[in-house]
Amino acid sequence: MSLENRTIALLIAPRGTEEVEFVEPRRALQHAGAKVTIIGFEKGEVQTNVNDLDPGGTYRVEEGFSDACIDHFDALVIPGGSVGADKLRGNTEAVKFVRAFFEAGKPVGAICHAPWLLVEADVLKGRTLTSFPTVRTDIENAGGHWVDEQVVVDQGLVTSRKPDDLPAFCAKLIETFAQGHYPEQPPSP
């Protein structure tokens, strides 16, 4: 399946985004032909983490949240990492950016702890999704239905539990992002 002519926003938080959950989706999307743009708090170099504690690779943030326009993107990917997900959900610009994708009916992928940002954006009411098990209560309290499955797709929202699920997650990202727009699934009120 090809994502040629598609532009994907990939979020990153400084010293907190889980390396493999950032690198593997990026690689898979680029291999499928997508242009991937790294979005973060501000332009500059950012380092990922390995297992939330050890330093990972360094990546260049191409656009800060205040400069990024969702009209320039076809889809969004939010990598996990408990530290990174917590930093992202604490940033009002990141929350607005994510909510705007749901309001526009654009597909979104989130893995591991990334659904914390979806909880904060208040877009989970009535949706079925998965995450790292410790995020379950937050999802349920936000009106979502949590399931323990490798990958879940709910009208444009693709979620997975952990790094072991990355092959299935990446495959479903490509399939779902190729389908495009999901106007029938508006965000929660």
**Which residues are annotated as catalytic?**
113
Which parts of 121-165 fold into alpha helices (H)? 136-141
- Alpha carbon 20 to its chain's center: 13
Query: Is the Cβ–Cβ distance between 187 and 120 less than 8 Å?
Result: no
Give yes or no for a contact between 46 and 14, defined as CB atoms under 8 angstroms apart: yes
* CB-based contact 84:18 (threshold 8 Å): yes
DSSP 21-80: HHHHHHHHHHHTT-EEEEEESSSEEEEEEETTTEEEEEEEE-EETTT--GGG-SEEEE--
**With contact defined as beta carbons under 8 Å apart, do 75 and 158 qualify?**
no
Angle at 133 between CA 130 and CA 134, to 5 degrees: 125
Of 171, 118, 6, 13, the closest CA to residue 73 belongs to 6
